[in-house]
Structure 1
Amino acid sequence: MPDFWIIGPIAWDLALYVNHFPESGHFVQATESEERPGGTGANVATALSQAGARVHMVGYVGADPAGQRMTKALTAAGVDVDPVQVLDGHTSSVILLIEPNGERTIIGIYPDLLHGITIPAAAVAPGDIVYFAAWHDAFAPAAQAMAAAGAMVTSVPPGTLPAMQYLIGSRNDFATIPKDTTAIVTEGADGVTVHSADGTDHFPAIPTDVVDATGAGDAFAAGLLWAIGGKRPLVDGVQLGLAWATATVQAKSSIPIVESTTMDG
């Protein structure tokens, strides 16, 4: 299994479970609240580390209590946090409004500083897997350099560069489906569609009761990357990603759930 480099948000979440989404100007009472680790990058990194991979987290935290909590949480999960930078400002933080059907609405609290981080492109080795869990155009030179060094570079949209072997994201993330890159499009309850040079393949979702949809996309990406790292066919990665996402939405958590029965595939 190669090393994984995950570049993306590290966040502290405030989850509020509500009976309905409030209309403009109206009041809603949370039935439950919870502070917990989150952030798309941290979620994917934690899931891969829990599955047994060597994972390097590239992102930032602020010099505040939330940053200290997130650094401890990642370290406890076995993630290498040496590339995590401490920047002036706040650690990313979001409010999650989660409805009874599990759907969540996300509200960011502080400005995103991710575009200002330094990516250690020279540290990657041939065969490593790089995943941009968020994309800024400022990342393009580092992404190209990592690909030139022999790493497999993947990203969420719109990271449409020659370096990208896979684009992984939800239907809403894709303005258009690229023709020169394999695009893996998650569609919630409708499953996943893979667009590649070989055509289009659709994979249905695994039926389940959704408690909290937070982290489902991150769980899918982690399962897919885990299978790719193990040099398994893409179809196996999609199926494993769907299994991890299904386990995740059944729990009240931002961090993906990696079931022991699926860690090895």
Structure 2
Amino acid sequence: MPRVIVIGSVNHDRIWQLDGPLVRGGRMHFSSRTTRLGGGAYYTGQQLLELGANVAIVSRLMQDDQGQAALESLASAGFDTDYIVMTPGETAPLEILLEPNGERTIIGPAGRSYPFTAIGTLSSAGVYINAFTLDEHIVDQISAQPLVLSQFPLKPATPRPADYVISSRDDVPDDLAHAWQRAAAIAGSRLKMLVLTDDPNPITLFDGADAIEVEPADRVAPANTIGAGDRFAGAFLFALLQGQTPAAAALDASRVTAEWLRRRDD
């Protein structure tokens, strides 16, 4: 079973299921409100665990009751939690407004963003990064790992060595050449491919010169897509670790993600 390091946030998502679309100046109603663990590291790590990987999370939790409960839940789920840093403070939930059509608005607390770090030595078959700021120590350790996949940061972020950069097409509206330049500025000379998902539309793989479009294995229209992109990234990374080509890995990841979305909607 491959060992994978996942670097990113583990959140307490408070999901408000709205009865209608957000309207400027309108009065909104909600039919349910639930709080659950979420975040890029959590959803990606869950997918990797389900596929059979040994997953260690590099993240930060608060030392209050909610943070301690989250740490226990992660350990019970099978995650290696040795790299999680417990920080003094109070857990602040991430508010997610979910419209009936699946559109979501995310509201997070303002405040200083602390760089992710890891105490000890990282050792893995692959690394997934969904974080903006990383300290120098962890960047040096990432560079020594054989395979690295990073989410495309949507705001200024610490450069990190990465073989693949992944994003939603909606978040990278530039032409592919410009998108490649932006990805290379983050990932450096190791960058092999930019991976762009596009909901039910073809997945684009771009190596800086040529683009390949991969038709998804299945098409679903879920009411809730929270975590779907992170699940795709986990399945894509796992397929690469199994020796699949990027195109085959994208196809397999689309199938795995569609199956998960169907199970959640049932």
TM-score interval, normalised by the smaller of the two chains: 0.7 to 0.9
1:21 corresponding residue in structure 2 = 21
Distance 1:20-1:5 versus aligned 2 partners, 3 A rule: same
Confirm or deny that 1:214 pairs with 2:214: no
- Is the CA contact 2:21–2:100 (under 8 Å) kept in the aligned structure 1? no
Secondary structure (helix, strand or coil) at the match of 1:178 reads helix
Report how far residue 6 of structure 1 moved: 0.4
- Greater alpha carbon shift after TM alignment, 237-246 vs 18-27: 18-27
The answer for unaligned runs of 5 or more in structure 1 is: 258-265
* Partner amino acid, structure 1, of 2:20: H
* Partner amino acid, structure 2, of 1:152: L
1:76 corresponding residue in structure 2 = 76
Distance in 1, matches of 2:7 and 2:160, equals 18
Distance in 2, matches of 1:25 and 1:189, equals 32
Confirm or deny that 1:165 pairs with 2:173: no
Distance in 2, matches of 1:236 and 1:74, equals 30
Of 123, 126, 129, the residue aligned with 2:126 is 129
Of 240, 244, 255, the residue aligned with 1:243 is 255
Distance in 1, matches of 2:102 and 2:140, equals 38
Distance in 2, matches of 1:104 and 1:119, equals 32
Distance in 2, matches of 1:213 and 1:140, equals 34
1:260 corresponding residue in structure 2 = none
TM-score by length of structure 1 reads 0.83
Distance 1:124-1:141 versus aligned 2 partners, 3 A rule: closer
2:48 corresponding residue in structure 1 = 48
* Partner amino acid, structure 2, of 1:10: V
- Is the CA contact 2:95–2:106 (under 8 Å) kept in the aligned structure 1? yes
- Is the CA contact 1:185–1:193 (under 8 Å) kept in the aligned structure 2? yes
Report how far residue 198 of structure 1 moved: 6.1
- Is the CA contact 2:116–2:131 (under 8 Å) kept in the aligned structure 1? no
* Partner amino acid, structure 2, of 1:225: L
* Partner amino acid, structure 2, of 1:78: G
Distance in 1, matches of 2:263 and 2:25, equals 31
2:67 corresponding residue in structure 1 = 67
Confirm or deny that 1:143 pairs with 2:155: no
Distance 1:161-1:199 versus aligned 2 partners, 3 A rule: farther
Confirm or deny that 1:188 pairs with 2:186: no
* Partner amino acid, structure 2, of 1:21: P
Distance 1:250-1:139 versus aligned 2 partners, 3 A rule: farther
Confirm or deny that 1:228 pairs with 2:240: yes
* Partner amino acid, structure 1, of 2:214: F
- Greater alpha carbon shift after TM alignment, 213-222 vs 90-99: 90-99
1:262 corresponding residue in structure 2 = none
RMSD: 2.6
Secondary structure (helix, strand or coil) at the match of 1:191 reads strand
Distance in 2, matches of 1:128 and 1:251, equals 29
Report how far residue 80 of structure 1 moved: 0.5
Distance 1:36-1:160 versus aligned 2 partners, 3 A rule: closer
Distance in 2, matches of 1:21 and 1:231, equals 43
Distance in 2, matches of 1:160 and 1:85, equals 19
2:117 corresponding residue in structure 1 = 118
Distance 1:178-1:160 versus aligned 2 partners, 3 A rule: farther
Distance 1:155-1:108 versus aligned 2 partners, 3 A rule: same
Could you list the structure 1 runs, at least 4 aligned residues long, displaced by more than 3 angstroms after superposition: 109-113, 138-141, 158-162, 172-176, 248-253
Report how far residue 50 of structure 1 moved: 2.1
2:188 corresponding residue in structure 1 = none
2:187 corresponding residue in structure 1 = none
Cα deviation code 1:161-184 (max 9, x no counterpart): 572100011124436422562100
